[in-house]
Every structure is written in structure tokens, then in C-alpha cells.
Amino acid sequence: MFIVADFNYIETINGWIYTAFIIHMLGCSIVGWKVSNDMNKNMVFDALEQALVNCNKLKALTHDNDSKV
């Protein structure tokens, strides 16, 4: 199983909205997601937790962070 994480932010008239998505690349579907009014790591962990529940066949997970932070 190959999954990737995506984090986005969108400016609205009421401020910024932040989204975290976990995408199953082979199935071409979103298997975990979270939306928040503030950018924090917990929302990403929540989306990942949801993906792990939805993809119970997942036996191993490797994380690769492409941000330069």
C-alpha cells in the first residue's frame, strides 16, 4: 500500500482554513482527512490515525518529509 500526505491552506473571508489529507495512491482515494482553523501537527496526526483505521491492511509505514524545516 502506498500512501502520501498532503497539507494545504486556503484563505477565506473569515481567515485561513487548513486541511490535511492522507491519500491512497494505488486506490486513488482519500483515506484520512482533517480540517482546522489553525495550523497544528495534531490535525495531521488525526488524519493519519483515520487513514490507519480505514486501511487496516497497512502493515508498515514510512514517513518522508519533503519540507525544508
pTM: 0.71
User: Can you give the pLDDT at residue 47?
Assistant: 92
Cα–Cα distance for residue pair 48/39, rounded to 1 Å: 15
pLDDT in tens, the chain (69 residues): 678 888 899 999 999 999 999 988 877 889 999 999 998 888 888 998 898 888 776 566 655 666 654
Please tell me what DSSP assigns to residue 25: T
